[in-house]
Amino acid sequence: MVAEKATLVLGGAALGAVSFAAYQKFSQKKPAVPVMNRPPVQAPPPPVPVSSGPSINNIDKAKTILPFGFPGPVNDIVYRSAYVTSYNRRDRNPNWVAEHLTQDSLKRGPDVDRQKSNFKEDDGIPEKFRARLNDYFRSGFDRGHMVPAADVKNSQVSMDETFYLTNIAPQVGQGFNRDYWAHLEHFCRELTRKFSDVYVFTGPLYLPHQEADGKFYVKYQVIGNPPNVAVPTHFYKVILTHHQGRYSVGAFVLPNQPIPDQTPLTAFKVPLDAVERGAV
């Protein structure tokens, strides 16, 4: 069972070999780890239910975002121009959100401005299962992006799509969403300097916590009126990099709470299967 803030070992990753400044800010240097020649699992995208009336272009784009198939769970799939997400009707949060970063995808398009974007509900989700803008009103939590707007600067339409609530989950603001989490997002973008392809999978977790009686409990706050939107205890990022036929993978689980900036990213490394178990 995964306890809160467990310090685990990085599974199959060679990200420790990355030498540029963003990685140095968050990690301690590690000896290089042999990389895999290819990811261990390949699977064609399965037939999935589709919400939000995806365009053919967005479905084709999904093949570049998820070249090895869909992670699980697979339900309420939403296709956007720069990401693919699976939505959880019970928690009113994404199960996971996938994106594909390259140096070209991060270039700013003409007249693209975050100030033009607004948070919005996803009409593709049935109304009674939809996260609502009012759910976040005076909740004390930020509307935290899974795919950040800064990853999608190549078109205004794509940036606007990152503000759908199907790409959002409640995050602690000061010390997390506006600070350490934002630094981690920047780190992912910086990886494109070293690797030709960076695939990022992001999502919420609801992990057990050991209490005074020695037993483990899964407890989390729910916001909204009526209270419907679950507040995750943790968030994960799984990063798969590719360059010249070689793949590396790293997985990180961060508590949804203020994290001091000086905390090394290595403190949150976990084996990939720890994320897979926790995200089910």
Output the CA angle 207-187-236, nearest 5 degrees: 15
Residue 60 backbone phi and psi in degrees, to 5: -65, -40
What CA dihedral angle connects 11, 16, 17 and 18, to 10 degrees? 120
Q: Residue 236: helix, strand or coil by DSSP?
A: strand
**Spatial separation of the C-alpha atoms in residues 23 and 182, rounded to whole Å:** 14
Which residues, at least 6 apart from 9, have a Cβ–Cβ distance to it below 8 Å?
269, 270, 271
CA–CA distances in Å: residue 172 to residues 78, 139, 175, 182: 25, 10, 7, 12
Which residues, at least 6 apart from 256, have a Cβ–Cβ distance to it below 8 Å?
170, 171, 172, 176, 231, 232, 233, 234, 235
CA–CA distances in Å: residue 237 to residues 51, 82, 172: 24, 17, 17
Nearest to 16 by CA among 191, 140, 135, 154: 191
| 116, 196 Cβ separation under 8 angstroms | no
- Give the DSSP H or E segment for 201: strand 197-205
Q: Which residue type sits at 23?
A: Y
- Return the active site residues: 145
Establish whether 177 is an annotated binding residue. Answer: yes
What is the DSSP code string of 77-93? EEE-SSEEEEEETTTTE
Binding residues for Mg(2+): 177
